[in-house]
Amino acid sequence: MDKLADLQKTLSKKDRVCSYDRLGEGASDRPDGLQNFADSGRILTAVLDRIAGDGPVVLAGHSLGGLIAARYAPDHQDRVKGLVLMDATTPTLTADISKVIPESATGQVAELRAQTLAVNEGQNPEKIVIADAEVRSAGSIPVEIIKHDKQYDSVPGYGPALERMWSEGQRRWRAISSRSTLGTAAGSGHYVYVDRPDLAVRAVQRVTAQAAGHGSRPTR
């Protein structure tokens, strides 16, 4: 949550903004066992009930947070009226990275493959299993997808293929809405909101304005 403090401070000048630490992160409790996306969804619902009641919201998420938001929105179209996905984890990362980096790989690339698969199996602070799934539609809500400019350029031999994999995953997120857009944050690595906070702020403000055009102003 601390990483998003500057972004939240800027956005809160015009709108009500809330961020939270998921279980296993920051000041939140440690999870007792493995979690799945249904568990993260229940926690997000509880947070939204507390801060927004039954009012409309725009969700903005980075990396795994973006994936959680994108999984949540299709089942909560009565509440989620817009999305901003900042270099969100791709919808089928386990299958994708297994295809790009073969099991026979060695060295740094093999470590990247093994680490990614382990994290997706729940070996992460949140103990959340990051399961592959196809993109489901959340209707026609406004969605802005922002992908990094460069992230894998230092991976020997596999950098270009990994970038293509990630870019294709970001394009697939467009299926979440008939009003989705995809852009690249020039000069940014994975942490888009740190490297290009200007783009992150404008994206959230645009989506919020579009969502507010269909009802009361949402809380993010």
Give the model confidence (pLDDT) of 152-164 as tens digits. Answer: 988 889 999 999 9
The three-state (H, E, C) secondary structure of 15-47, written as one string: CCCCCCCCCCCCCCCCCCCCECHHHHHHHHHHH
106 CB burial (10 A radius; 0-12, 13-18, 19+): exposed
CA-based max dimension of the chain = 54
pLDDT number for residue 5: 84
pLDDT score of 213: 84
Task: Identify the three-state secondary structure at position 183.
Answer: strand
Query: In angstroms, rounded to a whole number, what is the distance separating the alpha carbons of residues 38 and 202?
Result: 30
Contacts of 107 (CB under 8 A, 6+ apart): 156
| Pairing outcome for strands 142-147 and 80-86 | parallel
The CA–CA distances, whole Å, from 150 to 84, 133, 135, 153, 220 equal 19, 25, 24, 6, 28
What is the C-alpha to C-alpha distance for residues 47 and 99, in angstroms, rounded to an integer? Answer: 37
Q: Which is nearest to 177 in space by CA: 95, 62, 69?
A: 69
Tokens of 58: 């725009």
What pTM did the predictor assign? 0.93
What are the tens digits of pLDDT across the range 141-189?
999 999 999 889 888 899 999 999 999 999 999 999 999 999 999 999 9
Question: In which order are the strands placed within the sheet that holds 80-86?
Answer: 57-62, 80-86, 142-147, 179-184
Residue pLDDT, tens place only, 202-214: 999 999 999 998 5
Give me 90's structure tokens.
């791709």
What does the pLDDT profile of the chain (220 residues) look like in tens digits? 567 888 888 999 888 999 999 999 998 999 999 999 999 999 999 999 999 998 999 999 999 999 999 999 999 999 999 999 999 999 999 999 999 999 999 999 999 999 999 999 999 999 999 999 999 999 999 999 999 998 898 888 999 999 999 999 999 999 999 999 999 999 999 999 999 999 999 999 999 999 998 544 455 4
Give dist(CA 151, CA 149) in Å, integer.
7
Token duo for residue 93 = 């990362």
**Token pair of 45 as six digits:** 């619902």
Q: Which residue has the tokens 């403000």?
A: 205
Helix/strand/coil for 131: coil
Q: What length is written for the chain? A: 220
